[in-house]
Every structure is written in C-alpha cells, then in structure tokens.
Amino acid sequence: MSISADEVISNSLGAVADEMLAGLVRAAYSPNIKERADCSTSVITAAGETVAIASSAPLHLGALSGMAEAIRARVAADGARTGDVWIGNDPFVCGGTHLNDIAVVAPVLHEGRIVAFLANLAHHADVGGRTPGSESGDNTSIFQDGLRLPPMKLADAGTVRQDVIDLVLLNSRTPGERVGDLRAQLAALHVGARRFGELIDRYGVSQLERSVAAFMDATEARFRAAVRTVPDGRYRAEDFLDDDGLGSGPVRIAATLTVDGDRIGFDFAETDPQVPSGKNMSPGGLGATVFYALKAIIDPGLPNNSGYFRAVTIACPEGSLLRPRPPAAVGSRALTGMILADVIFAAMAQAIPARAMARCGPYQGVIFSGVNPATGGFFVDYENFAGGTGARAGKDGADCMQVHITNTSNLPIEAFEAEFPMRIERFELLRDSGGAGRFRGGLGVRRDFRVLGERAGLATRSARQRFAAAGLDGGEAGALGVFSVTGADGARRAAPPTGTDFPLRRDDVVTVVTPGGGGVGDAHARAPEAVLRDVLEDRVSVEAAAARYSAVVRDGAVDAEATARLRAGRADAG
C-alpha cells in the first residue's frame, strides 16, 4: 500500500506536537507539569485552525488556537520576526480556559510570511490572586483568580523580555517554579521550530500547505460521514453542579443536541446563568468539552485537528454558566466541564444507545500551601484525585481515572513527599464506591495526607458530593465524594466541598474520598463470577455482593444454591 505525501506530512506534524510535549514535560520544574503533565502543545495554521495537538488534557482542545487567533491582530499591526514569542493567559481575551494555563505562541515564518504557529500551554500552580494556587472555587471575580496577561511579546526576535518574565514572577508565590516552567515552555517552542523547519526543507511550504488543507478536509469529511449514521433528531439531557461555589444551588447544566444530516448543533440556552464563583466555564472550555465529547462518542479515531469543528455549531447565551460575562471567575471550570461532558454523553446516548455510558465520578481537587520547614520557602501543591468512570453496556467502569476532559497523571507518592512537607498515609481504591449494575461503575479512591509542618492551608474544589454519578438502564449511582480532616486528638471535622483558608496544623490528616461512577443495567443480573472477582479483588464487600447483587460469596467462592434462591426470591417479590 502506498502512503501519500499528505499522510506523511500529517503524521509528521503530529510528531512535531508530540516532541514539543515530551520536551516540555522533561524540562519543566514544577511537579504539576513534570509529573502530572498538565500541559499541551499544538501546531496551528496561519489562519488559526488546529493542525495537530498533543495533549494529556482534552480540556485544552482548541484553546491554543484561540491564543493564536488573538495574536494575529497584534501581528498584523506590529509585524513578526523569526524568534518572536507571545505569551497570554486571559480566557476572555486569549481564548484560554483559566489564568493558571499560560500559553506561549511563536509564528513560523518563511520568506517573511507566517506559514504556521507553534504553541504550548502549561498549568502553572500559582499565578497570584486571592489565594495560594490561584484557582479557588470561591473566588468571585477573575481579578481574584490571578495575574491577567493579554497577548504580549515574551521574546522579540529571539531575545527574551526579562521585564515580562519579572512581571509573572513578581505576581506568583512560587517564582522559582514559574521561571523554570516558562523556560521549559520556550524550550519546547525551539524544538518545534527546528522540527517544522526540517519539514519545510524537505517538502517546501507549498506542499506543506496543500497537505494541511487536504487532511483537514479529510477529517471534516470523515466526521460528516460518521454524523450521517446518527439518526436525525433533537436530544436533551441535564445534570447539576452541587452548588454555585458559595453554598447555594444546585446549578443546572442542560444541553439540547440537534442532528441534521451531516451536522450537529448544540444549544445550551436552558443552562443556568453564570454564578458568583469560579465554577463558570470559559468560552474556550465550552468548545473544548464539546469537541472532546463528539470525538469520543462519534469517532474516537478521528485525527486531532479542527477539521471536524466545521460541522458543529454551538449556541450559548452570554451570561450563561457556560459563557459568562467578564469579570466572572472561571478558575474551577474543569469540574463544570466534567458534568457538562456527562450531559453531552447522556444526550448522545439517546441517539446512539450502543455507545452509552453511565455518568462519571469527577476528580476532587485540593491545594495545600504553606512554608516548607526544610527549605524555608513557600510551597503550593496542586492536586486532583481521580474518581471512577461510568460503566458502559458490556464493560465495567475504570477505577481511579481522570474522567473526560482532564486525563492528567497522578503525582507519584515519592515525588510528592520529596517536594512537600506532608506524608501520604493511605492511597486505596474505595470498596463499594462504584455504582452497582450488571456492569459496575468504576471505583473512587481514598487518599490520606499527614501535615508535617507547623501549619498549612487547604483549599478544596469538588463536584458530585451531593449529586451522585447516575447509573443507566437500572444501574445504581456511584458513591459521593467527601473531604474531611482528623486532628491529632482524633476529632474529625468536615472540610467544605469548595473553600479556601481551611487551617491545618501539625499531624492533621486530610482525607480525600473521590466519587464512583454509575453502573449500567440490573445489578442483580450481574454474572456471579464477576461479583466473585470483585469480592476477591476487594472492589465489592461480601455484604454488598449479597445486598446489591444478590450474589452469595462464602469462603472465597460463590454459593450457587444460595445465590439462586436469593435471586429467585427477589424476582418473586417483584
């Protein structure tokens, strides 16, 4: 089989993005990037369309093209030279998702003409603002979220502007991490520029541009063909945030999908208005979540470019939770995006039942901060702990998985304890937390942290501590998430679902419990052998096996006769 130049160039541009991402992660200074890989890289056309993206976080899908679009006006006014780099983070100006995500973008020039943009985005653990970690869920305006950077020059013809670096460092509680991560981002651009230049030398700009146009068109055509297999119609679903971030709620997220031939339209008019907290979703985050969900449901193998965006329309009124007016806070937009993704999946399931999935248990987020007695410096630890995914028809949910739009890695215990004055005393799958069903929901986890310094601060962000991840087709909901703190005296107190400035003292133990995913189908019809496997692997207790699955397990084996009697009795009872 012959391989066309278009395919070779498409894969080569994907490799450019991948190599930039690998370089960024390896060169980064902060644990959030070097260990958790909370970052993305992208190759973007001169017209602002995403050609290739390497991302551990689907929430970043398309966010970098917004930054490229924002700087095109600056380039038109000021011109561009090889070695120029722009920086920005403001979601209302740069198209990003929140202020912690700092993007850097470099134009690729050939004979004085911009032929592409190279971009990367990284989550910086602290960019100033009201609280350590910046993205507090109870911030009430974007001014409390941290330093706002419009598109501005970070490097001019290859010379880094120290004044811009100083501006970022002066506004962060952890400047050492920030400068290291910014340098890693610049290094990643250098890698991308070198690799892109090699492609220009090999194929020429004209061939590159023809191939890019061809495979973007091919992605669009492939997506439209897949959409044509979906029954035309209108499909609606809704779900809820636990509260508005300040204790009132719930907050509705509703989506209506219209499938018409080879196009899909989204209408979010029934979603509640924006809230006075950081749970608002930025416009860039809304688009990224929609495009992630469509790719996951309709064609998971679809190339990572924006060709398929052309067949999608999104309508959302200004002032909505999903399209807030500035100066709304948007720091905790990811949790809103996870519930939004569940809603889109639920609506699409009505059209494509074979690809339905129960709802998921999103991460529970904490930020620890304080003075590290080992160094005397201030520390900020940003952590998101995974929940369980919803089950699907024919498959159990995944345990301890960053669901939907995040997909970042856990910070390894050894790396955490080497960096921060805390000790992890427990990290385990949470028995019985997955929603019961013929196919079981994924399990959440429990993680316990002991404070080793004299004092520390805790900030929390969460979802599904009130509204559980619903099951599907008779499956049960997953368990709820919860935060708590146990003092040195053994007294246990609840920590707020969303909050800041929760004081911690030496030997306090912070417990984070993440929610489980929903189950699919009647739990009492689950294969007894599958229930036994869950019991032996400590995913389901013996008691829950009998009560929730009508399966009797004794001495490490299924009691077939007792199970048959239990299930027959349940059937007779109706």
Q: What angle do CA 330, 458, 282 make, to 5 degrees?
A: 5
**Amino acid 1: pLDDT:** 42
**What is the spatial distance between Cα 543 and Cα 246, in angstroms, rounded to a whole number?**
38
Q: Do 307 and 62 touch, CB atoms closer than 8 A?
A: no
Q: Find out whether the peptide bond into 327 is cis, omega within 30 degrees of 0.
A: yes
Encoding tokens for residue 135?
């993205």
Q: Do 219 and 303 touch, CB atoms closer than 8 A?
A: yes
Model confidence at 521: pLDDT above 90: yes
Q: Which of 405, 363, 394, 396 is nearest to 497 (CA)?
A: 363
CA dihedral 88, 92, 98, 104 (to 10 degrees): -20
Binned at pLDDT 50, 70 and 90, residue 62 comes out as low
Give the amino acid at 299: D
Region 275-301 average pLDDT: 93
Query: What would the pLDDT profile of 467-499 be if each residue is shown by its tens digit?
Result: 999 999 999 999 999 999 999 999 999 999 999
**Amino acid 574: pLDDT:** 63
What percentage of the chain exceeds 70 in pLDDT? 99
Model confidence at 2: pLDDT above 60: no
**Amino acid 464: pLDDT:** 98
CA 433 vs. chain centroid, Å, equals 22
